[in-house]
Structure 1
Amino acid sequence: MSENSHIKVIVGMSGGVDSSVSAYLLKQQGYQVEGLFMKNWEEDDNDEYCAAAEDLKDAQAVCDKLGIELHTVNFAAEYWDNVFEYFLAEYKAGRTPNPDIMCNKEIKFKAFLEFAAVALGADYIATGHYVRRELRGDKYVMCRGLDDNKDQSYFLYTLSHEHIAQTLFPVGDIAKPEVRRIAEEQDLITHDKKDSTGICFIGERKFKDFLQKFLPAQPGVIEDTEGNNVGEHEGLMYHTLGQRKGLLIGGMKEGSGEPWYVVDKDIDRNVLIVGQGKDHPRLYSNGLNANQLDWVDRVGPKGTTRCTVKTRYRQEDINCTLLVGDDGLARVLFDEPQKAVTPGQSAVFYDNEVCLGGGIIDSVIK
């Protein structure tokens, strides 16, 4: 009998290949494995309903194949209150939020963790995220996934060492192609299912149409960096820094003759500011200010620290100096100017392979 046979692990089953292989690997390691499918969004059209039903069907097929029980739970109310309303408020304020990060914090590692422990008697939960956990001293740390192309630590920086101690990440030290190979070898129905790229638990959809259901558009003018009126926008929330597509000034080639890019937003005046050229100087900043800080060790660095930072997913690490004040706010100074650092997104800090934590970008330092 395996030494793990008395340990119960509840795997968050999404209907995708990563959670499928996670469940398989844990079963191979001798754990008592059960699955949990989370329904976190109340679909309001047939396409959404079909996609959610397909995911549940795939999760059930995998669990049947592995001989494990699949539970279902509805966290739609928690998702709306703690994730979606935040998402809408940020967009309304002209910022560009990352709902996946808030979803991980409030749903996958709060509601799911509590439900698995209390209702299902879990010793651990497990997910298909590409990160690794290591015990260093008396606390767990979160390390980047071994597959650089799939590392998801950026999305999980809000986890504390207590969360990590209660969570297993079976695919964190495996490359994605190997995960798919294992799934195919085990004849799991999800082996060739494409990865989801939509909003966490809401799925893929026409973003602008979706947002308009919940937030009325507030049209305004588009100005160039000299203050000249060059067009109209349908709402600041539909635009993000560095964006080229979707600007209603495509025919204008005055000045340098180069394409127009979003370089700033004037929230108070509801004005979208554009400049010509993908490397317009206005797109660059020398640092950022961050709030709503979360540290994996619950303490965080004090004073001045040399580390690296990512201001968006899959970005190359940026060398920086991090200054954390007694007020719980962070000031980050880049070694070199960085492009399109976007308020509302997350700045995530690293010490080599270890994710230290992060915060929400409040403003940039020019």
Structure 2
Amino acid sequence: MQVVRHVVCAMSGGVDSAVSALLLRRRGYQVTGVFMNNWDVVDEHGMCSAEKDCEDAYRVCQKLDIPFHQVSYVKEYWHEVFSYFLNEYEKGRTPNPDVLCNKHIKFNHFLNYAIDNLGADAIATGHYARTSHEDEDIFQNQYLKSSQTLFRNRFEIRNNVKLLQAADFFKDQTFFLSQISQCALRKTLFPLGGLTKDFVKKIAAEAGFHHVLKRKESMGICFIGERNFEKFILEYLEPQPGNFVSIEDGKILGTHKGWFLFTLGQRARIGGLRDPWFVVDKDVATGDIFVAPCTDHPALFRDLLRTDRMHWIAEEPPAELVNNKMMDCHFRFQHQMALVPCVLTLNQDGTVWATLVKPIRALTPGQV
């Protein structure tokens, strides 16, 4: 008699997670839905839609006749994602909270909860991504916590899972999954990886998930939502007034409330100036934001990226890079950005330099 596999599916209240749970049920798996509450609605005076999202997720689980659980990671999200997010902005960088949220919350705390508390054989999410393993391979994989060392035990034999792009290149979300661990990837199913968004919506309509189809596509900061960024960030960071300075002649063009309100490449709306100026650099020590007078100014382009220690999904650098200290590959620092050819150089301390074949606009510290 065949064993019925238990898959715990992360439910957001949206169409993607709803269809993911539906497809898992159709494959004959025992499915449990879990909604993660990661932001304290009291902090935002009712602005966050978490309660409505939870209700929508519950209705999907009811319709599928599967168990529904709700779990809170408010404290973990604050300490491991949002605090880092604020610190990075204070340092003049532009972090990506969605990448951090996947790394620390969905593919760490949620994964552990699903396996340790709910007895899951695997987890599933509504991300548009694929892996190199079939479902049954994922079920057979041992659940091994990530190694804390740079290189894993050389005598440990593992069939590493590769993270692969989704069939729908426009919706592909592998960029947001780029920091998750090998141990998480080895226990994760992506039911939507081979589908297009349009087809997912068609499945949802045929299944009667009309309440989730009416929802707007989720945007904005992970779990916090879409809102006025300046107003939101100034609730947590004190204003740090400074000057807008022309990169061309050093002339002061205006003032701002804080360097953390701007990112490289962004249009700087400077009072009294009709023509557009764009952010090319920031000096945290002085508070100056350097701007250029056109969107394709040479100062906006870079062809060299220096990283901190790299996160390798396979847990160690590719053999070609280790052996040759250099390797050709492709690079992106934003979701949906076209891949750019580059050459990686591996340094002795584990950091990596990426030399781009051609300069790209607004290469932003903190985005990779």
Question: Corresponding residue for 1:63?
Answer: 61
Q: Give the TM-score taking structure 1 as reference length.
A: 0.89
* Mapped partners of 1:268, 1:182: distance in 2: 53
Among 221, 245, 252, the residue aligned to 1:199: 221
Measure how far apart 1:140 and its partner are. 1.0
Q: For the residues of structure 2 that align with 1:243 and 1:205, how far apart are their CA atoms?
A: 17
C-alpha distance in 2, partners of 1:64/1:173?
26
Does the CA contact (< 8 Å) of 2:103 and 2:181 recur in 1?
A: no
Which residue of structure 1 lines up, in the alignment, with residue 167 of structure 2? 146
Matched, 1:122 2:145: no
Contact 2:9-2:17 at 8 Å conserved across structures: yes
The one-letter amino acid paired with 1:296 is: I
Tell me the distance in 2 between the aligned counterparts of 1:86 and 1:135. Answer: 33
Structure 1 contact 140–162 (Cα < 8 Å) conserved: no
> How big is each residue's C-alpha offset from its partner over 1:306-337, in whole Å with a ceiling of 9 and x where there is no partner?
00000111100000001121211110000011
Instruction: Report the AA paired with residue 285 of structure 1.
Output: R
Distance in 2 (CA, whole Å) between partners of 1:331 and 1:314 is 22
Superposed CA offset, 1:345-364 (max 9, x none): 11xxxxxxxxxxxxxxxxxx
Q: Determine the structure 2 residue equivalent to 1:182.
A: 203
- Residue from 162, 174, 193 that aligns with 1:172: 193
* CA positional deviation for 1:252: 5.1
State the partner residue of 1:48.
47
Q: Secondary structure at the match of 2:291?
A: strand
Give deviations 1:180-235, integer Å, cap 9, x for gaps.
00000000131232210021111121111111111001010111012111111111
Task: Report the number of matched residues.
Answer: 337
In structure 2, C-alpha distance between the alignment counterparts of 1:75 and 1:230, rounded to whole Å: 44
Amino acid corresponding to residue 115 of structure 2 in structure 1: A
Query: Paired residue for 1:97?
Result: 95
Q: Secondary structure at the match of 2:133?
A: strand
The aligned counterpart of 2:296 is 279
Measured after TM superposition, the shift of residue 250 of structure 1 is: 5.1
Q: Secondary structure at the match of 1:58?
A: helix
1:327 aligned counterpart, secondary structure:
coil
Q: Which has the higher strand share?
A: 1
Name the counterpart of 1:316: 338
Q: 1:128 to 1:250 in 2, by over 3 A?
A: farther
Structure 1 counterpart of 2:285: 268
Return the match for 2:107 from 102, 106, 109.
Answer: 109
Which residue of the partner structure matches residue 229 of structure 1?
A: 252
SS at match of 2:308: strand
Match of 2:86 among 70, 88, 111: 88
For structure 1, the residue ranges without an aligned partner over 5 or more in a row are: 254-258, 347-366
Partner SS for 1:178: helix
Task: Give me the whole-angstrom Cα distance separating, in 2, the residues matched to 1:231 and 1:159.
Answer: 42
Give the superposition deviation at 1:48: 2.5
Determine the structure 1 residue equivalent to 2:144: none
2:309·2:352 contact (CA, 8 Å) conserved in 1?
Answer: no
| Shift >4 Å, 4+ stretches | none
Classify the secondary structure of the residue corresponding to 1:273: strand
What whole-Å deviation, never above 9, does each CA across 1:44-74 have from its counterpart, x for those lacking one? 244425x111101100110000010110111
TM-score w.r.t. structure 2 length? 0.89
RMSD, aligned CA:
1.5
CA separation of 1:130 and 1:59: change in aligned 2, threshold 3 A: same
- Identity level (%): 42
